[in-house]
Amino acid sequence: MQKKFITNLALLLFLNFLIKPFWIFGIDRTVQNSVSPEEYGTYFALFNFAMLFNILLDFGITNFNNKNIAQHQQLLTKYFSGIVVLKLFLAILYFITTFVVGYFVGYDSTRFKMMLFLSFNQFLISFIQNLVSNVSGLQMFRTYSFLSVMDRGLMILFCSVLLWSNIFDTAFKLMDFVYAQTLSYSIVLITVFTIVLLKVKKFTFKFNKALSILILKQTYPYALLVLTMTFYYRLDSVMLDLMLEDGERQASIYAQAYRLMDAGTQMGVMFASLLLPMFANMIKNKVKLDELVKLSFSLIFVPAIVIAIFSFSFSLEIMDALYTINVSFSAPVFGLLMTCFVAIASTYIFGTLLTANGSLKLLNSLAIGGMILNFILNLILIPKYNALGSAMASLITQFLIVFLQIIAAKRLFSFRVNYRFIISILVYLVLVISFMKFIELYIEGLSLQFLVFITISGILSVVMGIINIKKIVKILVNKEA
């Protein structure tokens, strides 16, 4: 089983690191550089607006289905039809909510057209994720790995033709980018639906009231948590667009800075996906959590702080290497958002720990508080500082939330304060920042500066004992661990 897990995890990571960086830096970035800032800003704001109510499409069904199918594969036939029909009903609720709110915030017909396709894309993504949960629940991990990158692979193909070929005489338009996403998601949906249907061999379009009530009762606390967190992660660009006269341009500036931070959070997602079952099992069996929490925090904190410090110090150079417009405005926003990345990465440790403990009431309270705080801060800071104000609001909100999560985790699990570890972290920060200043003064070339900085920072983290290589090796070779 361990060999199966490791080989399939390696395949999953390989495919994701092969496909997704090219999507982010090759396609998505090129699209933004190919259209006007106002046009892309509108797209980015509407994309995030479409995501605000995304939880209405799922309501925690995917996690419910994944867990139950993995434990009882015979339930696939029973659940498949009922869940598909339930998601279609939820999709109607999602579309009504999204467009009613869009109407009240004042979107015009042009924006409604784009939002229609972006909302439909969110529906397709949610449907695909639910169907793919059946694939992973059936332990079809290789199929799951390829399906996880199939949409991006198709979009890279379609967008490459649109951007760089001479097949079409017309100039590239942003809606072409949206259509390419819709086509890619539709192909993946048909593919994965066919795979699951071949396993089930039966599909009945019938609403299962009992199953629907069972699922919604179990998943509503999780749905509320995801909804509130989505709001304070995604509300910034929407508010920029609505509050400012040049809102589209400011949203575009924010998008340039946000893209790399959003990509970096995928590292946290991978940590959370591994830690959640481990934390849950250890809590159930009353095993001490101190060492695993410390180890996981160290492994995510070091790369997060290294990336944040480098990004803050070379924000202008990085933005200049990636974009052609508004670089001087997006650079300081990028520096602040990448500092947020440290807090977000830490949240994937302590938030996951609290989730594994079932502390959803506490997490919901923190998320609602964070959403309200972020909204108020944006109202205050956006008129004065524009996109930079949104970044400031995110910085304050994210660090406050993770601080409260750490305090809550300490009290719930009676963690003792490891002063030696805290001092090591503080000393490490001072030394890494000092090395950064040295590199700025005496080394030229962004790539070389980054390579030297991560090498020195990595070695320093091992020498200072923040990352314990011996312990990691021991855990990897210890089957019981």
Q: List, as one string, the DSSP characters of 36-57.
A: -HHHHHHHHHHHHHHHHTTHHH
Task: Find the radius of gyration of the CA atoms of the chain.
Answer: 23
pLDDT at 431: 92
Instruction: Please choose, from the candidates 432, 429, 409, the residue with its C-alpha nearest in 3D space to the C-alpha of residue 421.
Output: 429
Residue 424 lies inside a defined structural domain of this protein: no
| Residue 369, amino acid | G
Residue 468 lies inside a defined structural domain of this protein: no
The domain of 345 spans 214-416
Count: domains in the chain: 2
Domain's final residue, options 207, 226, 241: 207
In sequence order, the 6+-apart residues with CB closer than 8 A to the CB of 87 are 57, 58, 61, 126, 127, 130
Residues 104, 32, single domain; the answer is: yes
Measured CA to CA in angstroms, residue 81 lies from 84, 100, 135, 143 at distances of 5, 29, 15, 21
Residues 179, 248, single domain; the answer is: no
Cβ atoms of residues 390 and 254 within 8 Å: yes
d(Cα 458, Cα 450) in Å, to the nearest integer?
12
Residue 422 lies inside a defined structural domain of this protein: no
Residues 218, 199, single domain; the answer is: no
pLDDT at 74: 60
Neighbouring C-beta atoms of residue 175, cutoff 10 Å: 13
In sequence order, the 6+-apart residues with CB closer than 8 A to the CB of 316 are 327, 328, 331
The H or E element spanning position 74 is none
d(Cα 373, Cα 377) in Å, to the nearest integer?
6
Residues 66, 196, single domain; the answer is: yes
Residue 324 lies inside a defined structural domain of this protein: yes
Q: How far is CA 218 from the centre of its chain?
A: 24
Residues 200, 54, single domain; the answer is: yes
The tokens of 416 are what?
């003792």
Residue 447 lies inside a defined structural domain of this protein: no
Residue 455 lies inside a defined structural domain of this protein: no
Residue 175 lies inside a defined structural domain of this protein: yes
Cβ atoms of residues 125 and 149 within 8 Å: no
In sequence order, the 6+-apart residues with CB closer than 8 A to the CB of 187 are 150, 154
pLDDT values of the chain reduced to their tens digit, one per residue, 481 residues: 334 444 554 555 666 666 777 777 778 888 888 888 888 888 888 888 888 888 788 777 776 665 565 556 566 666 667 777 888 888 899 999 999 988 888 888 888 888 899 999 999 988 887 777 777 656 666 776 777 778 888 888 888 888 887 777 777 788 888 999 999 999 988 888 888 788 776 766 777 777 778 777 777 777 777 778 777 777 888 888 888 888 888 888 988 888 888 777 777 776 676 666 667 777 777 778 777 788 888 888 888 899 999 999 999 999 998 888 888 899 999 999 999 989 988 888 888 888 878 787 888 888 889 889 999 999 999 999 999 999 999 999 999 999 999 999 888 888 888 888 888 889 999 999 999 888 888 888 888 998 999 899 889 988 888 877 766 666 545 544 4
Neighbouring C-beta atoms of residue 295, cutoff 10 Å: 16
d(Cα 442, Cα 450) in Å, to the nearest integer?
13
Cβ atoms of residues 409 and 350 within 8 Å: yes
| Residue 374, amino acid | N
Answering whether pTM is above 0.85, one says no
Residues 251, 352, single domain; the answer is: yes
In a 3-state reduction of DSSP, which class is residue 464?
coil
Residues 155, 240, single domain; the answer is: no
Cβ atoms of residues 336 and 262 within 8 Å: no
Buried-exposed string 264-287: b where 16+ CB fall within 10 A, e elsewhere: bbebbebbbeebbeebbebbeeee
The tokens of 465 are what?
């004992």
Domain's final residue, options 174, 207, 240: 207
Residues 69, 186, single domain; the answer is: yes
Domain's final residue, options 207, 230, 260: 207
Q: Is 170 left (phi over 0), alpha (psi -120 to 50) or beta?
A: beta
Residue 466 lies inside a defined structural domain of this protein: no
Residues 199, 223, single domain; the answer is: no
In a 3-state reduction of DSSP, which class is residue 408?
helix
Residues 63, 110, single domain; the answer is: yes
Measured CA to CA in angstroms, residue 138 lies from 66, 195, 202 at distances of 9, 11, 16
Residues 346, 230, single domain; the answer is: yes
Residues 231, 195, single domain; the answer is: no
